[in-house]
Amino acid sequence: KNEVEQSPQNLTAQEGEFITINCSYSVGISALHWLQQHPGGGIVSLFMLSSGKKKHGRLIATINIQEKHSSLHITASHPRDSAVYICAVRRSGAGSYQLTFGKGTKLSVIP
Amino acid sequence: DVKVTQSSRYLVKRTGEKVFLECVQDMDHENMFWYRQDPGLGLRLIYFSYDVKMKEKGDIPEGYSVSREKKERFSLILESASTNQTSMYLCASRGQGHWGAFFGQGTRLTVV
């Protein structure tokens, strides 16, 4: 079983829809990242969370440490949001150099 | 802004060639990482380095080696490229005590 699971794997939405991508993990963590990867490969860090909730523009990320779960929400989605969204965790303790990644959620927003 | 720069965006090499992928960061970060990304498998760690001349194997080091002679530069080496090493390669860096990682733009390597 993967230590970081994302759902859904693929998501197609109409422009304007509210979108939720989920991430569950099974290890102790010190931080969780949400990353965005556009076609062409470059990765951008959207959020780094260790507790609670963060908001940046139309993007909202939440984390529940007790339930080992995080969500990324996109309000009023737009075609330019089409990308792969990746959840990554930094483990606490031994192995904390590394990030462990989910397999990504491919989002397509249709005009 | 942190900049992590990979030397090539696209690369085509022949089977058996020695391939160097270069990564440079400009923020004096101690930790640097090489990942490969394949459809359905996500990002997997090949090697990482936490200091100059220090290296640690990641999850899939076979067929790869690395070099960190200077703090800002982390090189990934394919000693004898094979077709199963066709992939997207991503470099990342992170400062000591920081838990944010910064990624390069990726190198799409095709081995023919």
Nearest to A20 by CA among A11, A29, A28: A11
Scan residues 52-71 of B and list those with Cβ closer than 8 Å to A.
56, 58
Collect all residues of chain B within an 8 Å Cβ-Cβ radius of residue A103: 40-42
Both tokens assigned to B46: 């090949």
Give the pLDDT band of residue B3 (cuts 50, 70, 90).
Answer: confident
Any chain A CB within 8 A of the CB of B39?
no
Count of all residues that appear for chain B in the document: 112
**SS (HEC) of A11-56:** EEEECCCCEEEEEEECCCEEEEEEEEECCCCCEEEEEEECCEEEEE
Contact assessment for residue B34 and residue B74, using Cβ atoms and an 8 Å cutoff: yes
**B19: helix, strand or coil:** strand
Which chain B residues have a beta carbon less than 8 Å from that of A102? Answer: 42
Preceding amide of A8 cis, omega within 30: yes
pLDDT in the model for residue A30? 86
Q: What is the pLDDT along chain A (111 residues), one digit of tens a residue?
A: 689 999 999 999 999 999 999 999 998 898 899 999 887 767 888 888 889 999 989 999 999 999 999 999 999 999 999 999 999 998 887 656 678 899 999 999 999
Q: Is A10 on the interface with B (CB under 8 A)?
A: no
* Nearest chain A CA: its distance from B98 CA (Å): 10
pLDDT digits (tens, 9 = 90+) for B28-59: 888 899 999 988 888 899 999 989 999 999 88
